[in-house]
Amino acid sequence: MLTPPRIEFVVRDGLHIAYQSVGSGPPDIVYVAGSIAMSVQWELPASAKSLRRLASLGRLVTFDQQGMGYSDRMDLSDPPTLEDLVADLEAVIEAAGVTDPILFGTHNGGAVAALYAVRHPVRQLILCNSWARLEQADDFPIGFSERVLDRMAERYKTEWGAGRISDEYASRRGDEPADRDELASTSHNQVAQLFGINRKYDIRQALPAIAVPTLVIHLEGNQSIPAAHGAYIAGAIPGAQLVLVPGTDQLFLRNYGTPVVDEVEQFVTGRRTTFADRMRTTMLFTDIVGSTPLAASIGDARWSALIDDHNDRLHRVVVAHGGHEVKSTGDGFLVAFDEPAPAIRCALASMEAVRDLELELRAGVHVGEVARMGKNDLSGLAVHFAQRLCGRAGSGQVLVSAVVRDGCSGTDIGFAEQGLAELKGIPGSWEIFEARLP
């Protein structure tokens, strides 16, 4: 996994607000997450992958709301208001040197971003899975009843930290512990106070005053905050565009968030990554050694069950290491990574994950320029290079190219020279190395 960006602090009214930035602008995208610790999201493979994709569009600034993550805890004797959270955002934007922000507000951060956009110059405003008001009223029938909100408040006080609440907000990714988001984000009393803020605010009157290009995204199957809330916001902001994307997750980053980031990319850049786009990426091929004779010896039914178990275990390992499964090759996978070191660690972890199944794997890793062909394939000479490395590897070996070795400088990964090799269909002779962990 890539190292999270450095944490910096800005002090506002005696409170230290933690923020992070990565990439370079313009544009400058400020992610206003609300009741979620963004510092924790940078440490989780699925969330970090989406955040780094956002950072590829420009400079990305994220921060922990007071009471969350590395920011100071709220004073429960004098709890903050929504206005205080807007002031925190103002302080972060000033400290980060952002002058023309694109605000991306999610959860209750949508309200914070919306109020900022009313009062300050903003290039664009993006709101996702947000709400204008939570509580039901005669003129707001889509809200939640007082009984439902009371029950939720009690759950925050008594159940926070076990992971059940987060699991209801978003489907789990890979091997991440159920309680990881909650325990690392904040404490019982802080999250209960944050819910109290969320429960009370009502920004409906402010929405018509927003005069910047606005995109409202909502997951169409969101059960925590139904899509009617997104539709209400879009209808109240002049000229706002509403996009409903597939999915059910309120905390969409937790499950990679690809459909949401696709829409953000389209809105910010005027285009989205297409099947023909070329990119430089790290490719990992895995393969089961001796799969054909093994399948013949145990029969179709047992082989099918074994492959299903193999695939499930490798999927979990891939997600835990921040990889993207491109496709299955029948008895292995092609997986894409942002950097070579996580690919190597994923390959070695995959071998351990299936060892008790009495399966032996081999792997090849290469970095190069490829073309995305639809959602489920990559093409280019670099893809064949990685596949040839995998085919050349022995049982339990991870063979890599020289460019992969060079890209792992400064890590604890070791490399053993395997000499020059000719790879079928690829001109020339190439230095090959075996990757090893200490």
Q: Which amino acid type is present at position 199? A: R
Grade residue 174 by pLDDT with cuts at 50, 70 and 90.
very low
Is 152 among the domain residues?
yes
Whether 12 and 349 have beta carbons less than 8 Å apart is answered as: no
3-state secondary structure 41-87: HCCCHHHHHHHHHHHCCCEEEEECCCCCCCCCCCCCCCCCCHHHHHH
Which residue has tokens 């009741």?
35
Quick check: bond before 27 cis, omega within 30? yes
N-terminal to C-terminal alpha carbon distance within the chain: 18
Quick one: 313 and 166 in the same domain? no
Can you tell me the mean pLDDT for 323-348?
Answer: 90
Quick one: 238 and 350 in the same domain? no
User: Tens digit of pLDDT for each residue in 89-104?
Assistant: 999 999 999 999 999 9
Quick one: 79 and 145 in the same domain? yes
Q: What CATH number corresponds to the domain at position 354?
A: 3.30.70.1230
Grade residue 173 by pLDDT with cuts at 50, 70 and 90.
very low
Query: In sequence order, which residues have a C-beta less than 8 Å from that of residue 171 and are 6 or more positions away?
Result: 248, 249, 254, 255
The residue among 242, 269, 296 that closes a domain is: 269
Burial of 321 (C-beta count, 10 Å sphere; 0-12/13-18/19+): buried
Quick check: bond before 293 cis, omega within 30? no
What mean pLDDT is reported for the chain?
Answer: 86
- Sign of the dihedral through C-alpha 372, 378, 384, 388: positive
The residue among 269, 303, 333 that closes a domain is: 269
Quick one: 197 and 133 in the same domain? yes
The residue among 269, 287, 311 that closes a domain is: 269
Quick one: 246 and 284 in the same domain? no
Q: What is the DSSP string of 153-216?
A: HHHHHHHTTSSHHHHHHS---TT--TTHHHHHH--HHHHHHHHHHHHH-B-TTTGGG--S-EEE
User: In this prediction, what percent of the chain has a pLDDT beyond 90?
Assistant: 50
DSSP H or E stretch at residue 18: strand 15-22
Confidence (pTM): 0.64
User: Tens digit of pLDDT for each residue in 378-429?
Assistant: 778 888 999 999 999 999 999 999 999 999 988 999 999 999 988 887 777 8
Count Cβ atoms below 10 Å from residue 187 Cβ, excluding itself.
Answer: 15
Low-confidence winner among 31-45, 97-111, 181-195, 248-262 (lowest mean pLDDT): 181-195
Is 2 among the domain residues?
no
Closest alpha carbon to 283 in 414, 408, 418, 400: 400
Whole-number Å distance between alpha carbons of 80 and 415 = 53
Q: What CATH number corresponds to the domain at position 164?
A: 3.40.50.1820
Domain span holding position 32: 8-269
Count Cβ atoms below 10 Å from residue 336 Cβ, excluding itself.
Answer: 19
Q: Is the pLDDT of residue 276 over 50?
A: no
Q: How many domains does the chain have?
A: 2
Q: Is the pLDDT of residue 179 over 70?
A: no
Residue with the bigger pLDDT between 336 and 373: it is 336
Could you tell me whether strands 324-328 and 15-22 are parallel, antiparallel, or unpaired per DSSP bridges? unpaired
Quick one: 155 and 45 in the same domain? yes
The predicted pLDDT at position 410 comes to: 87
Distances (CA, A) of 222 to 195, 205, 243, 254, 311: 19, 25, 13, 14, 29
Whether 284 and 349 have beta carbons less than 8 Å apart is answered as: no
- Three-class DSSP category at 289: coil
User: Tens digit of pLDDT for each residue in 57-90?
Assistant: 888 999 998 888 888 887 777 878 889 999 999 9
- Residue spans of alpha helices (H) in 210-364: 227-236, 258-269, 291-298, 300-320, 340-353
**CB burial readout 360-389, b (16+ within 10 A) else e:** bbbbbbbbbebbbeeeeebebebbbbbbbb
Closest alpha carbon to 372 in 294, 438, 274: 274
Quick one: 36 and 53 in the same domain? yes
User: Tens digit of pLDDT for each residue in 140-156?
Assistant: 999 999 998 888 878 77
Is 1 among the domain residues?
no
Is 300 among the domain residues?
yes
